[in-house]
Amino acid sequence: MAGVGGRVGQRWSSMVLSRWHWLVGMLGVLICSATLRAAPLPGEAADWHGFSRHHFDLDNRACFITAPKIAVPGKPWVWRARFPDFHPEVDLILLDRGYHIAYINTDGMLGSDAALDIWDRFYDHMTQALGFSARPALEGVSRGGLFIYRWAARHPDRVACIYADTPVLDIKSWPLGAGAGLGHEPTWRELLKQYNLTHEEALAYDRNPIDVLEPIARAKIPLRHVVSLNDRVVPPAENTFVLKERYEALGGHIEVVEVPEGTPESSGHHFPLPQAFESARFVMRHTPELPRGEEYFTLRAGLHRSRLRFEREGVGTVAFLGGSITHNPGWREQVEDYLTRRFPGTRFEFINAGIPSMGSTPGAFRLERDVLAHGPIDLLLVEAAVNDPTNGRRAAEMLRGMEGIVRHARIANPMADLVVMHFVMPPHMEDYRAGRIPEVIREHERVAEHYGAASLDLAREVTDRIDAGQLTWEGDFLDLHPSPFGQQLYASSITRLLDRAWGEPIDQNADLAAHALPERPLDEHSYFRGRLVDIAQARTVRGFRLVERWRPVDRAGTRPGFADVPALVGEQPGASFTFEFDGSAVGLFVAAGPDAGTIQYRIDGGAWRRRVLFTPWSRGLHLPWAQVLEAELTRGRHTLEVRIAEELHHDSDGHAVRVFHFLVN
């Protein structure tokens, strides 16, 4: 990460850390973050599937809260009813994604009014005393359906969504067994006691889950059920399918996952849980705890083309282009995991084209080599909203670089889906708080809008979450290179975007048209024809030498791809070369280290100009820097002349000029 001037760069950047040091630092942050987030929970902690489960009592009722290693902002949670350890697959995925799982033991009360009164007190304790989200997801297995639906009908404003596994929804079906089900006489007697009903009153009871759907539908609470078609204990025809018909008639939305057969020994009531990942994503889609109540992404033309390829052809190429926040481990691996789980039959190639310090300008010139050379790209996620301003790029350059990436990608593959991401930095937060859209986000959004690309404003999301008290920069995010907490926040937001983009059914026989390519770019001088040119194309070389495997002899750091590679190296004033090219822009990809010099250059024999290669970060790093020398030439054949200047930058140790590539647009 390079920065605009020394103060910003030195304060917010960790440029000279090696990958190893970054990982060690993140491990420490992970431990601190996990400790910080587990500390407020009451009771004794015990291990549960690798997570910390905290046991405590409330009103003489046994309770527990299972904590994630890293909690997501807003403290969303899942409230389990009955059988809290049965089919834990969904809970484990949610815990891994930062959700808490909570439970209070009202097991023998069968969802009675007295049980719901206890639930009211537990809800108050979770939300008021412990600060959890005001709208949990409710999860019920079997007779747990009586609890979750009757409580949701009592408090529809307190429920985000409902996920149920073979739920009981009518007491006449179970435990009475008045229909096709087996019933259970001892439990029926206990239910009459808990509900304070006679047998005849119970037959006429009109507060079953299937009877109290109107307030739930009016609140637009989404539902998802998993049922077995041969379930003789809780027959779906008397429970879930009745609820589905009534709920949809009320305008509600429900997803039903059907298992053909449950196990014989359970009379069809139990089975290996299908679609656990999809069920976890269902919960995550409806519990993001957004400060403004609205998402931070814009889908525009959508991402249907990549999804169709993943589902129809079973293959996909996904590229991640950006700087150190993309290069370093964290959110990218979580997104890759999401994609492989969402499309389990798809063989993916993931391309990590993140290189620390890189913004949109170097990204545009290296796109062909680092991304497009792998073949057609189905989905490209690109970020440069931190490095572009930090590296001192002007607004025109911010647009030219991002448009260079987006337009070039679409020219290479008109079916390519793109997501332009705006990561956070403190100056972005200052702008938003002052009522301004950060300049770089404004320019990158212009590009996304022009090309119908999806975009995600994580800078605004983090700002809003901090201002809402869900997290702090100093205690949670810590740096431009996010802590594990921040990495998870990024991954959660990106995958929510993908969930929304791919949420509706798609016709597998559809023949989607290519993305429309605007006839004209926003800026004719954008770098959509950008490419890297071999330094062997240098001519009339004097005082420079071609080093086949350049590596610094000092202790300054390097970047991946810019060490142990060929470099054109000159170290004395007066050393020179020429380069002939065909295009409208030309530049040099250099390493600006502690001894970086100053060059003079001219085009086609014109006036000499001067460019200082030393940067605010050169003291500790041979920083790869895309120096665009001229960007608005008439398209055609030109000659660039470069020579090392006599003058020495006051902080530099020398006159060195090390060129890895020519830049040509």
Report H helices in 78-162. 89-96, 113-124, 144-154
Nearest partner of 61 among 31, 104, 119, judged by Cα? 104
| Helix (H/G/I), strand (E/B), else coil: 554 | coil
Give the count of beta carbons closer than 10 Å to the beta carbon of residue 383.
28
3-state secondary structure 217-253: HHCCCCEEEEEECCCCCCCHHHCHHHHHHHHHHCCCC
User: 505 pLDDT band (50/70/90 cuts)?
Assistant: confident
Nearest partner of 295 among 464, 432, 135, judged by Cα? 464
User: 218 pLDDT band (50/70/90 cuts)?
Assistant: very high
Which residue, chain included where needed, has tokens 């090390």? 658
User: 512 pLDDT band (50/70/90 cuts)?
Assistant: confident
The predicted pLDDT at position 507 comes to: 79
Distance CA 71, CA 79 (A): 16
User: 26 pLDDT band (50/70/90 cuts)?
Assistant: very low
**DSSP symbols for 27-75:** HHHHHHHHHHHHTT--SEEEEETTEEEEEEEETTEEEEEEEPSSPPTT-
Percent of the chain at pLDDT > 70 equals 94
What are the tens digits of pLDDT across the range 340-397?
Answer: 999 999 999 999 999 999 999 999 999 999 999 999 999 999 999 999 999 999 999 9
| Pair 257, 197: CB distance under 8 Å | no
Nearest partner of 384 among 450, 451, 443, 433, judged by Cα? 443
User: 12 pLDDT band (50/70/90 cuts)?
Assistant: very low
Q: What are phi and psi of 633, to 5 degrees?
A: -75, 160
Cα–Cα distance list, 486 to 17, 23, 491 (Å): 19, 14, 9
* Average pLDDT taken over every residue of the chain: 93
Mean pLDDT of 251-274: 97
Which residue, chain included where needed, has tokens 């025809």? 237
Distance CA 240, CA 170 (A): 9
Is the per-residue pLDDT at 24 higher than 80? no
Of 471 and 19, the one with more pLDDT: 471
